[in-house]
Structure 1
């Protein structure tokens, strides 16, 4: 099935050029120059992935993402101003799957979109009614349960909603509890297409993971930091 990509940016030139590039690659595109209009459209007919500019009038990309994350785990890529680390950190902390700094290569954006869509496929394939979906074993580690087929995570029986990237990072850590995973190993698990991301991206996703679990358990400490080495999951 052809993936639908939503583009939200108040720069008409970017909307036009990126939309044409994506359509050339076989994607269906929807374009919005207003965050409020996009939010309403997503509720009525969600795309497969959204590319959001952060700096927009009325409703900016950060607010749009915040509102989206109240009800959806729609994969999101942020477009940020060059060298604006605060925007990048905020976007990742709020649940974006990735970010790209302007000015950006359309080729890089398309590669990132394809990578995130591929990472989302296992959860979609396992949904009921999918003839191609095959059951995947539920991963249980202490109070954690992860169901890859349904993209479902629980802690102490309470649901924890994760983005695709967060799910893959946690799954990599929990699959071998007690074993330290370096940032490079976590990047390889979450970004499997030789796409460069820096250490700050992984650190931001880890912070977001901890924050989400602490919303259901204030004492959550299963994701441990080994300074200078990486991260590990403890199921004790």
Structure 2
């Protein structure tokens, strides 16, 4: 795995460098937001993951996340933040981060989070990029189909593009049981695999981004059930 870590605390970088080396991962470290965007933009395909501090000199992590997302809609981003503010954490997710880890963090916990995210992506890449046949789709409804091996999703035969790993997993979970209402707590448990100790508004932030991408190709199929949670329903498309 090739990781870009954006962190202005050199001690944290040195500590994580030891853990990355133990895992036999390659990592590069940059210490301000401007250099982070420049480094990523040199070769966007090079990076398997971005670890991004929220408080950075020259350009803060929120703007860096937004800039990286414009360059690559799909590269996984884990935001590192010392802020406890719920609004900051949700804003970070809305700006493009897949997850956030609150400082101070355990290096072993962060490594486990990285492995889990990378494992889901690797599983999704099994089978190459050949176009899928109808029999290859794991989920099919009258207007929607999803292939977990190629990590492709279609609404009315139009591809839903640029889904991040978490957005894809969230869509898969909802669409696997059409019309069933999932609470935010259930979605945190199912999509984040019990590893995530965040606020339920994390789900809201991901739903918002997911809806935006779905509605680029079709009508709203993820519906809010007020006071309960969310459901997938394409029966009225």
Partner of 1:231: 230
How far, CA to CA, are the matches of 1:154 and 1:148 in structure 2? Answer: 12
So what's the TM-score if we normalise by structure 1? 0.84
Q: Deviations over 1:174-223 (max 9, x none)?
A: 11111112223322332225443331211221122123333445xx3311
Query: Do 1:54 and 1:87's aligned partners in 2 also have CA atoms closer than 8 Å?
Result: no
Q: Which moved more, 1:20-29 or 1:50-59?
A: 20-29
Q: CA deviation at 1:138?
A: 5.5
Structure 1 gaps of 5+ residues are 130-134
SS of the aligned residue for 2:62 comes to helix
User: What residue is the counterpart of 2:40 in the other structure?
Assistant: 42
Cα shift at 1:100: 1.0
| Alpha carbons 1:115, 1:191 under 8 Å: kept | no
CA contact (8 A) 2:160 2:213 kept: no
Q: CA deviation at 1:28?
A: 2.1
Alignment match of 1:33 (pick from 31, 36, 51)? 31
After superposition, residues 43-192 of structure 1 pair within 5 angstroms as 43=41, 44=43, 46-72=46-72, 73-128=74-129, 136-137=136-137, 139-156=139-156, 157-192=158-193
1:235 deviates by 1.0
Q: Which runs of 4+ in 1 moved over 4 A?
A: none
Distance 1:216 1:62 in 2: 27
What's the offset of the Cα at 1:57?
2.1
Q: Distance in 1 between matches of 2:174 and 2:145?
A: 13
* Distance of 1:127 and 1:42 partners within structure 2: 25
TM-score (norm 2): 0.84
Residue equivalent to 2:198: 197
- Residue equivalent to 2:3: 5
Structure 2 residue runs without a partner (length 5+): none
**Is the CA contact 1:53–1:78 (under 8 Å) kept in the aligned structure 2?**
yes
Deviation track 1:100-143 (CA, whole Å, cap 9, x = no partner) reads: 112222222112111111121222223249xxxxx942634344
RMSD (CA atoms): 2.4
Aligned equivalents of 2:227 and 2:99: distance in 1?
24
Alpha-carbon spacing, 1:64–1:141, altered in 2? closer, same or farther (3 Å): farther
Q: CA deviation at 1:169?
A: 0.6
Tell me the equivalent position of 2:215: 214
On the 8 A contact 2:152/2:159 being kept in 1, the answer is no
Separation of aligned partners in 1, 2:159 and 2:234: 17
Deviation at 1:162, TM superposition (A): 1.2
Q: Structure 1 residues 61, 194: CA separation in 2 closer, same or farther (over 3 Å shift)?
A: closer
1:12 deviates by 1.4
Distance 1:141 1:57, change over 3 A: farther
Asked whether the equivalents of residues 224 and 232 of structure 1 are also in contact (C-alpha less than 8 Å), the reply is yes
CA 1:126/1:65 → structure 2, altered by over 3 Å: closer, same or farther? farther
Whether the 8 Å contact between 1:152 and 1:161 is mirrored in structure 2 is no
